[in-house]
Amino acid sequence: MVVDRKDPHERAKRLARLIVGDIVLYNQDRIIQGIRDDTLFEVLEDQLAEGRRYYEKNVDPGVAAQADYFNLALVDILVKGRANVQSKIW
Q: How far apart are CA 7 and CA 1, in angstroms?
A: 14
Angstrom distances, CA of residue 74 to CA of 6, 67, 69: 23, 13, 9
pLDDT category of residue 72 using cuts at 50, 70 and 90: very high
* pLDDT given at position 2: 57
Going by C-alpha positions, the residue among 24, 11, 16 that lies closest to residue 80 is 24
pTM of the model: 0.86
pLDDT tens digits along 26-62:
999 999 999 999 999 999 999 999 999 999 999 999 9
